[in-house]
């Protein structure tokens, strides 16, 4: 459904280092950008791209209330690792990893705010192989 997702930053170097650390556990890699004031990431073999950059209009970057970027994870362990990487890199906790069955069965997620205040979510909807209490 989506081609790409873009968030603004005040400090591209800091933001790029943050997202390099946070997206690696999810199998998302930085890819070359043709723009010097933007960085981009995607999963190998996929076209959807996540962009972080300095706003083109030169106005300050800011996050919107109610807006969030959600990244899919292949496992609950990947959610845990992305969350831990985000917190280690200076993100603000918005919800520790855990099951959220009020969203859907097997919905496992975590929430943080990045260094610019953008809300980021990591989610796995797969049943864990050892999860016998919550069969699919």
Assigned token pair, 10: 């005040």
Backbone φ, ψ for residue 78 (5° rounding): -65, -40
Can you give the residue ranges of every domain in the chain?
A: 4-55+66-124
Cβ-proximal residues to 84 (8 Å cutoff; 6+ apart), any chain: none
CATH of domain 4-55+66-124: 3.10.180.10
Average pLDDT of every residue of the chain: 92
What pLDDT, on a 0 to 100 scale, did the predictor assign at position 132? 47
Statement: the pTM of the whole predicted model exceeds 0.85: yes
Q: What sign results for the dihedral spanned by CA atoms 67, 73, 77, 82? A: negative
Over the stretch 1-50, which tens digit does the pLDDT of each residue have? Answer: 789 999 999 999 999 999 999 999 999 999 999 999 999 999 999 999 99
């Amino acid at each position: 459904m989506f081609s790409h997702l873009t968030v603004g930053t005040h400090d591209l170097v800091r933001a790029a280092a943050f997202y390099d650390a946070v997206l690696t556990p999810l199998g998302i890699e930085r890819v070359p950008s043709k723009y010097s004031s933007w960085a981009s990431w995607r999963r190998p073999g996929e076209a959807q791209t996540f962009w972080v950059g300095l706003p083109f209009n030169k106005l300050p970057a800011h996050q919107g209330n109610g807006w969030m970027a959600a990244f899919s994870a292949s496992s609950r362990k990947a959610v845990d690792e992305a969350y831990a990487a985000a917190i280690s890199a200076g993100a603000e906790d918005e919800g520790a990893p855990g099951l959220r069955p009020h969203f859907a069965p097997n919905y496992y997620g975590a929430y943080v705010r990045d260094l610019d205040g953008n809300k980021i979510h990591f989610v796995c909807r797969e049943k864990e192989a050892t999860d016998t209490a919550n069969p699919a």
